[in-house]
Amino acid sequence: MPCPAQRRIKHICAHINSTRGASQKTIRPRNVHAKRRFTIEQLAEKREQGECWIAIHGKVYDITEFLEEHPGGSEIITDIDLDDFETINFEFDDAEHSEEALEDLEEFYRGKLVDHNGQLLCDDDDELESDDGESDDEEEKVLEANAVEMQHDGPADPFAKFQELQLPLIDKHALTHDVVVFRFGLPSPDHRLGLPIGQHIILAFQEQGGQTISRPYTPVSPLGEVGFIDFLIKLYPTGKMSQHISSLPIGHTMRLRGPKGKLEYLGNGEFRIRKKQRTIRKLGMIAGGSGITPMFQVLQAVASNRSDIIHITLLYANKRETDILLRERLELFAIQHPNIEIVYTLDDPPGDWVHYKGFITEEMIQATMPPPADDTMIFLCGPPPMIKKACIPSLQQLGYTREHYFKF
């Protein structure tokens, strides 16, 4: 599913083409600012002066001018924690950007990020692009090179390795007034999904004007099912993807691309997070609304293996009881596995509500989440105000460091 911060990062590139005509655009030479250097403090000073400077993979961009033109308003970018460079880097990488959008981003390039000693804060191979303009993203090329040719005469795992498929919409049903499960058919009734646990898939379509719209979603299909893939998607009145897929007739196709993501659950408490393997014995999950979908995948995998030693506590926030998504399946997981605990909080609870009430607080997190430790991790996914203003400050106040939490 698309985490809000990831969508916002993506908008920096995705709307540049749509808000600027070709005749208005003045692309600066790629290396004109190559030798300029900026510290973190200088970027903060720029923002205090009302300018919006951001660093992505050690490259500094001044997107102040773009903020004024953004059709969705400046808050869609300024709501991001612009000092959390690590998160920005990972979320930027995980978003889908066209070559044209990446090229246009260079119009706002101003230099590179350095520490107090003038040392670059990224390695040459960690940059978004090298100075000669060639892409350094070799991982996807390797995945594409290794992608298996699909066989339709027996079971297969189409998304076990990276590839892109055109798949038909075969069913859709509403869970709430604004949340729908969309089911796409795999290449044959015998095909399995094969997506690594914790990864997501990019859905994409092309607008009439030629711009490609793409969003990441985490499947909620039952493990082991064959022939289809389910996505739980929240509908937004002005959301290009959700409105497109909502109006898509049964039998029509969309492009699906994957696997993508910075987290993979290997089983029995072993995770690969940002390419590093971690052993986690106590896992806390804090989800809001449709942010439940990446958590759901991991919960489903653990519930299917009673010998899995990891202990999971989910704190799931919603406005009303009727907004709790996938509730029956979540509570079934807690029955299936003794180490899974489900806790809810509601902004507007009914009179007989026995769980937590109100917004997520530091006290609520302290009471439900495992304390910080080397074998502890907290997963976060939900609306930006909940994550940025409630969850992360509370976790930090309770002693959790950046290594203790992962934001989808």
Mean pLDDT confidence for 24-38: 58
pTM for this one?
A: 0.67
Q: How confident is the model at residue 208 (pLDDT cuts 50, 70, 90)?
A: confident
Mean pLDDT confidence for 242-267: 92
> Does 11 have pLDDT greater than 60?
no
Q: Which residues are catalytic?
A: 200, 217-218, 381
For the annotated binding site for FAD, the residues are 215-217, 232, 234, 240-242, 293
Find the range with the poorest average confidence among 35-49, 70-84, 113-127, 147-161. 147-161
Residue 380's closest CA among 332, 369, 232?
Answer: 369
> Does 354 have pLDDT greater than 50?
yes
Mean pLDDT confidence for 342-371: 96
> Does 113 have pLDDT greater than 60?
yes
Q: How confident is the model at residue 117 (pLDDT cuts 50, 70, 90)?
A: confident
Find the range with the poorest average confidence among 41-55, 196-210, 236-250. 41-55
Tell me how far apart the alpha carbons of residues 106 and 118 are, in angstroms, rounded to a whole number: 23
Q: How confident is the model at residue 12 (pLDDT cuts 50, 70, 90)?
A: low
Tell me how far apart the alpha carbons of residues 246 and 251 are, in angstroms, rounded to a whole number: 13
Per-chain mean pLDDT for the chain? 80
Return the pLDDT at 86: 60
Return the pLDDT at 83: 63
Residue 396's closest CA among 405, 384, 386, 383?
Answer: 405
Please check whether residue 56 is in contact with residue 89, taking contact to mean a CB–CB distance below 8 angstroms.
Answer: yes
Find residue 270's DSSP bridge partners: 267, 279
Find the range with the poorest average confidence among 62-76, 111-125, 213-227. 62-76
For the annotated binding site, the residues are 215-217, 232, 234, 240-242, 293
Return the pLDDT at 142: 38
Q: How confident is the model at residue 123 (pLDDT cuts 50, 70, 90)?
A: very low
Return the pLDDT at 292: 96
Residue 281, C-beta contacts closer than 8 angstroms, at least 6 positions apart: 269, 309, 310, 311, 375, 376
Cis status of the peptide bond prior to 385, with omega within 30 of 0: no
Residue 315, CB-side half-sphere exposure with 13 Å CA sphere: 25
Domains of the chain are: 4-136 (3.10.120.10), 155-260 (2.40.30.10), 263-407 (3.40.50.80)
The listed range with the strongest mean pLDDT (45-49, 65-69, 105-109, 396-400) is 396-400
> Does 337 have pLDDT greater than 90?
yes
> Does 14 have pLDDT greater than 60?
no
Please check whether residue 243 is in contact with residue 235, taking contact to mean a CB–CB distance below 8 angstroms.
Answer: yes
Comparing 216 with 130, the larger pLDDT belongs to 216
